[in-house]
Amino acid sequence: MLGTSHLRLNCLARPESAKPIRHAVAAFLAVFELDPDFADDVLTATGEALANAIEHAYAGRDPADIEVHAAYEDQVKLSVDVWDRGDFIERERQPNRGFGIRIVQAIASDVRIETNGGTRVHMEFLPPTVTGG
């Protein structure tokens, strides 16, 4: 399959939204029969970015939307964006907290965080090359 395949999700930033989003992303990845370890890594990174958005984006006010967009481009690059329209707040490090973005950075081949008009975490993943004939 060549070209770009997309998955777009939009829901309220509530803890109960995380599980169905992860399941939808897992189903999207399953279509491409990716290496299971690679798919698990993508789901882990996506889950961490999603958890941050759910927990922090709308702290102290009613939850609003979070969006997840996944794109698999020409079976070469997978990108996942998690974004919200909340306020980005620099927080001081707390003991045993704050590992989410470090986990994302350890897994993804590229991570960009934009904080203009909300927070957008853009993650890129390079799937293992398929060999054989």
Q: Residues 56-109: pLDDT tens digits?
A: 888 888 889 999 999 999 888 999 999 999 876 666 666 665 667 888 999 999
- For residue 63, is it within any domain? yes
What are the structure tokens assigned to 34, written together? 């990716």
- For residue 114, is it within any domain? yes
- For residue 76, is it within any domain? yes
β-pairing verdict for 4-12 and 119-125: unpaired
Lowest-pLDDT range, 36-40, 73-77, 101-105, 128-132? 128-132
Domain range for 94: 4-125
State yes or no: pLDDT of 114 exceeds 80.
yes
- For residue 131, is it within any domain? no
Q: How confident is the model at residue 2 (pLDDT cuts 50, 70, 90)?
A: low
d(CA 99, CA 79): 21
Q: With contact defined as beta carbons under 8 Å apart, do 100 and 56 qualify?
A: no
- For residue 132, is it within any domain? no
Nearest Cα to Cα of residue 20 among 31, 11, 29: 11
Look at the chain and report how many structural domains it folds into: 1
- For residue 133, is it within any domain? no
Q: What is the pTM of this model?
A: 0.86
**CATH at residue 28:** 3.30.565.10
- For residue 106, is it within any domain? yes
Instruction: Dump the DSSP string for 4-67.
Output: EEEEEEEEE--HHHHHHHHHHHHHHHHHTT--HHHHHHHHHHHHHHHHHHHHHTTTTS---EEE
